[in-house]
Every structure is written in structure tokens, then in C-alpha cells.
Amino acid sequence: MAGADKFSPPIESRADLIEVMSRGSKPRAEWRIGTEHEKHVFHTNPLRPVTYDGPQGIRALLDGVQAETGWEPFYDGDNPIGLRNDTIGGISLEPGGQFELSGAPQENLHGTADETAEHMRVAKKVAAPLDIHFLGLGVTPLWSVAEIPAMPKSRYGIMKPYMEKVGTLGTSMMFRSCTVQTNLDFSSEADMVKKLRVSVALQPIATALFANSPFVDGKDSGYQSFRSHIWLNTDNARTGMLPFAFEQGFGFEQYADHALDVPMYFVIRNGKYINCAGENFRAFLDGKLPQLPGEKPTIKDWEDHLSTLFPEVRLKQFLEMRGADMGDEASVTALSAFWVGLLYDDISLESAWELVKDWSMEDREMFRREVPKHGLATPYDRTNVYDIAAQAVGIAEAGLVRRGVLNAKGQDETIHLAPLEETIRTSKAPAERWLDLYRGEWGGDLTRIFAAAEM
């Protein structure tokens, strides 16, 4: 297997495919909280996107953060494209320069909040002399895809032309969207199934609560979450609401079968990305991948392939909640608080299942389709998404109370739900508040959001 990862064994059977996911099972005492968030970067003088190179570029930002933290850079060719630390966290770049923190696993939400605060402190300290600023929105409000400089990452050179073939907004996803994501553990296959079903069903509800991308191309997009709308028009083969997960008998094996049918993007050999866009992983298992004739995949190849699936909830060795727009610093922790409260307390998990268990596939697909446009006002039966969201936040809050994890001030984790409590109190998600300013005080001047939404 010339050039393959020498530390990764070859795939010998279907059991190996399943084990990649099932080995994530761990006892409750080892459950952790992983939080990832992406931030747009921009200059103010003049207002413009940030390039990779140059004295005020993204590379200079990475160099400065490295000097400040001691984290180790990693490269694509000769270009640093991120930093790693020794706690399984790090910084990476999205295609349009979006600056992403992949947080280390935290024992509780107070740790999550502290981690994000420290990251932002360092990032802003380094960025200030470079006139680099961070914007907490789900989509860049002004610039087109063509106006945003591309980062020097080989995988994106493969993904971009493929995205242009299979969807209408895939490049918008790559270059001008930002999300916040919560990663949570499971104890067993049965626990994974229940958590995945609850979180898939409620993902559009989270989208409504965190909707924060009403602008695109310098105007009102007509959507509460244009970022979520983008995902409806990206690549239907690898996105969506996983309807098969609600079928009887669903488990790790069925998810593996789904992943096998998702077209490939690439294989990595000798640190280089080999373009396999559109190829079939089943053919790879048979040694019939045209780009690597006769060669069969390793476990690492399968793990890489799993990372190129983009459903609303992604299964790896943990569950990734993928439905929320990026917002301000408090909203980053609020997303994790929402999902921890729902999924890490047995009573709350059961209550959440009661809330969603009677929804049909058509109901779930309707939420996914309509919420990006209508947000909390999306109608359902004799109620609307706002009422469902209020119930879900209440269930999450009760779960966090039962966890009883206190910070140094004696406060439990419910303090991190404050942004959602404000949304429920006002019946307005962040997107609606921005639209009020845009239509009122700002008089249609969208440049003002760069100061208002700066992190």
C-alpha cells in the first residue's frame, strides 16, 4: 500500500467500517463536550475580506497566534493552514479564510465558555495590529464568492469544482458561511440511536433559535438563516435529515451503508490529496478505484471519507450537531448548553423524544425546508416552531439543573442558556433583530453590521 498512512491498518471486513464509529461508545463518566466555531475575518480600513498572504493576511494571523500560544503549525505543502495543541484541539482555516477553533473536549459548559473566551482573547490580541476583525454571523453579508480570497488548501481545490456540479450554492457554503457545532458522546449503539434521532429531529428547531444570517450580497436575503438555505442547495447526496435513521433496526451498520453510497472527494497519499471526486468507496474496497488501481483503503481512508459527509447530524466517534449559524461569543456556548441539556440527562432525553417521536418524515423534512426562511414563525399543525423551541429550551434547562455542575461563583450551567432565553422572551432570533436595525436605525446601510456583530 505504497504511500498510505503507515500507522493505519487496511480495512479487512465490514466489521472494520462499523468499528470506526462504535469505538466511540464510552461510559457516562467519560462523556465530554466538544465545541467548534467559525468566524468570518475582515479588514476595516478599507472594509474588505482578508487574503492569505501579505503582512496583514491570514498567514500572519496564524504566525502570531502560534507565537502567542506555542501551538504547532500544520501545513498544506509549504503553507501553514492551522495550529494544533496538545489537548486535541486546534485552529484551522475554512476555504474563505474563516477562522475556526476546534475546541478540546470539556467536562462541562463552564469549561467550554472559558475556552472560547481565552481563544477570542488571544485571537483579537494578535489580530488587532493586523487590522483583522472577526464577524459572528452565519453568512458574510456583503461579499460574493468571487470577492473572497481562497485559502491554499488542496482539498478545497478538489471540492470547489465538484460542488459547482452537484448543487447551486455549494461554493457559498465553502467561502462565505460560518457555523457553530457541538460534538457529544454516546454510551452504546442504542444510546447513539436515540440521541441521533432526537437531535436530527430538533436540528431545524436549533436552526430557528440560532438563525443569524438574514443578509447576503448586500441586502436582505429573504431568509432568517441563509446559511441553512445554502445547505439545501449544496449536495443532496451527502446532506440532509437522514430519514433512514428513523427506520426500525437502524444502527452503526446502516450508517456505514449510507456512507458507502456517498460519493468520494479524495484520498490522501504521502501528504497529497488525490482527486477522487464522484468515485465510489465500495469500488475502493474492491481495489477498483481508478485513481489507485489495485489498492484497497485503510481505516484512515474511511475516517477521512466519513468527514466528508455533511448531514444535519454527523456520526463519527461522537455525534456532531450541525444546524446552527455562528453568532456572538455567548451563543457559541449556548448551542452546547442547548444540546447538553437535552442529550446528557436521561429525563431530558426522554422528554425530548416525547416531543419529536410522532413527527413523520414529511414533518421533519418540512421543518428543514421551511425554517431557513420563516424561522420561529414556521407553522406546524395548530402551533409553530416558536412553541416547539420554547419547550425544547425548557427541557434543556431542566436537564442542566439536574446536572448540577457549578462554577466558582456557585452558578449552574443554565447561565449559558441566556441567549436562548432572550430569544424566547422576545420571540425574535438574532436574524430578526438585525433586520429590525437594518430596516430602521441603519436605514439600509449594511456596513454597520460589521461593527455591531464584531466578536
The reported pLDDT for the residue numbered 91 is 98
CA angle 236, 240, 245 (to 5 degrees): 125
The reported pLDDT for the residue numbered 195 is 99
Q: Are residues 212 and 298 in the same domain?
A: no
Q: Are residues 198 and 331 in the same domain?
A: yes
Direct distance between the N- and C-terminal alpha carbons of the chain, in angstroms, rounded to an integer: 47
At 7, the pLDDT band (50, 70, 90 cuts) reads confident
Q: Are residues 339 and 287 in the same domain?
A: no
Q: Are residues 283 and 321 in the same domain?
A: no
pLDDT of residue 196 exceeding 50: yes
pTM: 0.97
Q: Are residues 351 and 386 in the same domain?
A: yes
Q: Are residues 128 and 185 in the same domain?
A: yes
pLDDT of residue 403 exceeding 60: yes
The reported pLDDT for the residue numbered 389 is 98
Domains of the chain: total: 2
Q: Are residues 174 and 289 in the same domain?
A: no
The CATH number that applies at residue 39 is 3.30.590.20
At 6, the pLDDT band (50, 70, 90 cuts) reads low
Distance (Å, rounded) from C-alpha 113 to C-alpha 106? 10
**Would you call the peptide bond into 46 cis, given omega within 30 degrees of 0 as the criterion?**
yes
Distance (Å, rounded) from C-alpha 214 to C-alpha 42? 19
Q: Are residues 287 and 325 in the same domain?
A: no
The reported pLDDT for the residue numbered 212 is 99
Contacts of 56 (CB under 8 A, 6+ apart): 43, 50, 130, 131, 132
Distance (Å, rounded) from C-alpha 322 to C-alpha 370? 17
**What's the whole-number mean pLDDT along residues 108-123?**
98
The reported pLDDT for the residue numbered 5 is 52
92-105 pLDDT, tens digit each:
999 999 999 999 99
- E strands along 232-386, which residues? 239-240, 266-269, 272-275, 310-311, 313-315, 319-325, 379-380, 383-384
**Three cell numbers at 345?**
440527562
**Three cell numbers at 292?**
489507485
**What's the whole-number mean pLDDT along residues 317-340?**
98
Residue 118: count other Cβ atoms within 10 Å of its Cβ.
12
Report the half-sphere exposure of 380 (CA within 13 A, side-chain side).
27
Q: Are residues 8 and 41 in the same domain?
A: no
The reported pLDDT for the residue numbered 89 is 81
pLDDT of residue 369 exceeding 90: yes
Q: Characterise 375 by phi-psi region: left (phi > 0), alpha (psi -120 to 50), beta (else).
A: left
Q: Which of 241, 274, 308 is the last residue of a domain?
A: 308
127-160 pLDDT, tens digit each:
999 999 999 999 999 999 999 999 999 999 999 9
Q: Cβ distance 95 to 151 under 8 Å?
A: yes
The reported pLDDT for the residue numbered 177 is 98
CA angle 255, 259, 260 (to 5 degrees): 120
The reported pLDDT for the residue numbered 88 is 72
Q: Are residues 152 and 99 in the same domain?
A: yes
Q: Are residues 210 and 327 in the same domain?
A: yes
The reported pLDDT for the residue numbered 1 is 35
Distance (Å, rounded) from C-alpha 372 to C-alpha 204? 8
Q: Are residues 379 and 402 in the same domain?
A: yes
**Three cell numbers at 407?**
462554577
Distance (Å, rounded) from C-alpha 100 to C-alpha 180? 9
Q: What is the mean pLDDT of the chain?
A: 97
| Domain encompassing residue 13 | 1-30+263-308
Q: Which of 287, 308, 329 is the last residue of a domain?
A: 308
pLDDT of residue 4 exceeding 90: no
Distance (Å, rounded) from C-alpha 178 to C-alpha 37? 8
Amino acid at 399: G
Q: Cβ distance 452 to 438 under 8 Å?
A: no
The reported pLDDT for the residue numbered 262 is 97
216-252 pLDDT, tens digit each:
999 999 999 999 999 999 999 999 999 999 999 999 9
Residue 451: count other Cβ atoms within 10 Å of its Cβ.
10
The reported pLDDT for the residue numbered 2 is 37
pLDDT of residue 258 exceeding 80: yes
Q: Cβ distance 58 to 1 under 8 Å?
A: no
Q: Cβ distance 313 to 320 under 8 Å?
A: yes
Element (H, E) at 207: helix 189-209
The reported pLDDT for the residue numbered 3 is 43
